[in-house]
Structure 1
Amino acid sequence: MAVLLASQEKRFGSALLFGFLVITFAITWGVIGSYIFWPDAMTARFGEISGAHPFFFLATWAPAIAAFSVVLYIGGLKGVAAFLSRLLLWRLPAPWWGFILIVIPLVYMAGSLIKGGPLLAPLPPEGIGPVVALMFMMLLLGPIEEFGWRGVAQPLLQRYVAPFWAGALIGTVWGIWHLPAFYLAGVVFAEWSFLPFFVGNIVLAILVTPMFNASRGSLLIPMLFHWQLINPFWPDAQPYDTWILVGVAAVVVWWNRETIFTRAGAVTEVIPGEARS
């Protein structure tokens, strides 16, 4: 009976993960793909796409929409409330806070210096105000994705594989999910090279994994981490920031080698308090 239940649980977890990915890609690739294949028709009807367009927000929020769909399905409204309680998990060892608040900015600054750029992103003629406003707007973009990537996908994957591999898999999917944006005019991705960005997604997903598990499945910590990655005060350091992060990740993985390559202690609950939900 125990073997049967374990088998059913694994199949159910796989189905949830599959459903999450289908919804996520259907929304994002559907919206962005429409602007890629039918740019004139979409622009005429809905306006030119940009980082502030409602459809860009919809495409960015797809992982969150998929996550809440999955949580609502398995736990109802009470499950959603319990899921959101993971936003209150803020306890994290001090070195990790230092990593988020200090190391990430230093990586961008170092990468920018290597390419001959400034330590901080240049301020617009209007001064610091618009940059601060943009910084808070960014809080409603990338960090919202974490409801999906670390909220649902990470714990589900950690039921089957060690955290390192869960992070690497999520990073791979995360990078592929962004791919259509590189063919879309009017957004920052159009100016970047996909390969270092793709590698960077894998590296970042691996880096945030030990923080996620150390915080017992916090949603707040990955969101703050993600917010730092898109903070408009940091200079554009592509692609050198990626290659620096590869070295940083190698050190982090080695330092956490006793926990990151084993499933023991890894967070596997989507809804807290509901065993392996």
Structure 2
Amino acid sequence: MSSLAGTPKPSLPSRALLLFVLLTFGVTWGVIGGYIYFPERAAGTFGAISGSHPLYFLATWAPGIAGCLLVLGFGDLRGLRAFLSRLLYWRCDPVWWAFILIGIPLVFMAGSLIKGGPLLTPLPPEGAGPLFALMIMMLFLGPMEEFGWRGVAQPLLQRHVAPFWAGAIIGAAWGIWHLPAFYLAGVVFAEWRFLPFFIGNVTLAILVTPIFNSARGSLLLPMLFHWQLINPFWPDARPWDTWILVAVTAGIVWWQRDAMFSRAGAVTDVIPSRPRS
């Protein structure tokens, strides 16, 4: 709740984590489950599901929606404004900016070259326009999840466990949350294998953790990180991108081991007491 002085308290109660999980899984699994178990009725009522269907966006946005609703419920509009001010946090060790902007593309390029593929996704006959349009659409798809995973879940977990374990727990939940999509025709996940994807989710959630903490709870950097992972200009590098990222993450965890295995200095505020840039 907001303080009587008018400044949002810099916390949500830890019990909000359970509410976040229930809301996130309830919305996503409810929407996708309808198309899995009642495909004809769902398609007849709402139209065939695809990666651009409004219900697919709703299912994807569920973590972000859940996170924002909890912040609004516990911190009112002032708390929500303070929470969203974390989109303006951009200062961190420059190495993380370099990794997001340069390192992630290099991972995909290296993985593609290992499997004999191109450096970049081949342009369609229509030129780069469709890929740019898809890239913009992706900005409003996966990155919106970060309002929940890193916005709410990460700080709440870091109150109780070291950042490494918080990232691993979120990664496992993140992977399982995606599971119904692997049984859904018409979306990209139907062509993937779940186990490598699950390992990748855990790896990525651990990898983004030191970035998140270095930027003092930024929402901006995890969203850019997520966007780079689904940027349509980067080539298909499966499964090598996953194994390269596992190796990179192992190296970063070792490098950052003092911070990753200690709660000292970990971000625990969901609603900051005052905006920071």
TM-score after normalising by structure 2 = 0.93
Mapped to 2, the partners of 1:254 and 1:159 lie a distance apart of: 22
Q: Tell me, in whole angstroms, the C-alpha distance in 2 between the residues paired with 1:36 and 1:131.
A: 29
Paired with 2:122 and 2:188, the residues of 1 have a C-alpha distance of: 16
Instruction: Determine the structure 1 residue equivalent to 2:27.
Output: 27
Hey, what does 1:106 align to over in structure 2? 106
Separation of aligned partners in 2, 1:186 and 1:123: 22
Identity %: 71
Q: Which residue of 1 aligns with 2:265?
A: 265
1:68 aligns with 68
**Cα distance, 1:14 vs structure 2:** 3.7
3-state SS of paired residue (2:109)? helix
CA distance in structure 2 between the partners assigned to 1:44 and 1:74 by the alignment: 39
Give the gaps of 5 or more residues in structure 2.
Answer: 1-11
Deviation for aligned residue 1:119:
1.1
Contact 1:196 1:242 in 2 (8 A): yes
Higher relative contact order (CA 8 A, sep 6+): 2
2: CA distance, partners of 1:137 / 1:260: 33
Deviations 1:97-116 (A, max 9, x none): 11101111111111112222
State whether structure 2 residue 182 is matched by structure 1 residue 158.
no
The code of the aligned residue for 2:39 comes to P
Matched to 2:260, the amino acid is I
Q: In 2, distance between residues paired with 1:131 and 1:83?
A: 32
CA distance in 2, matches of 1:82, 1:95: 27
Quick check: 184-193 or 112-121, which moved more?
Answer: 112-121
Query: Matched residues in 2 for 1:216 and 1:93: separation?
Result: 11
Aligned residue for 2:122, secondary structure, equals coil
> Which residue is equivalent to 1:245?
245
Paired with 1:198 and 1:91, the residues of 2 have a C-alpha distance of 30
Counterpart Cα distance in 2 of 1:201 and 1:17: 19
1:23-54 residue CA offsets vs partner (Å, 9 max, x unmatched): 00000000001001111111111111001000
Shift of 1:69: 1.3
CA distance in 2, matches of 1:253, 1:131: 34
Unaligned runs of 5+ in 1: 1-11
Structure-2 separation of matches of 1:179 and 1:112: 25
Over the aligned positions, Cα root-mean-square deviation in angstroms equals: 1.0
> CA–CA distance in 1 between the matches of 2:29 and 2:13?
24
Name the aligned partner's letter for residue 194 of structure 1: F
Q: Is contact 1:192–1:238 with CA below 8 Å preserved after alignment?
A: no
By how many angstroms is 1:239 displaced? Answer: 1.4
Alignment of 1:1-277 (within 5 A): 13-273=13-273
Please tell me the residue identity of whatever aligns with 1:112: S
Using structure 1 for the length normalisation, give the TM-score.
0.93
Structure 1 counterpart SS, 2:15: helix
Runs of 4+ with deviation above 3 angstroms: none
CA–CA separation in structure 1 for the residues paired with 2:115 and 2:189: 18
What is the rounded CA distance, in whole Å, between the counterparts of 2:171 and 2:48 in structure 1? 29
- Length, aligned pairs only: 263
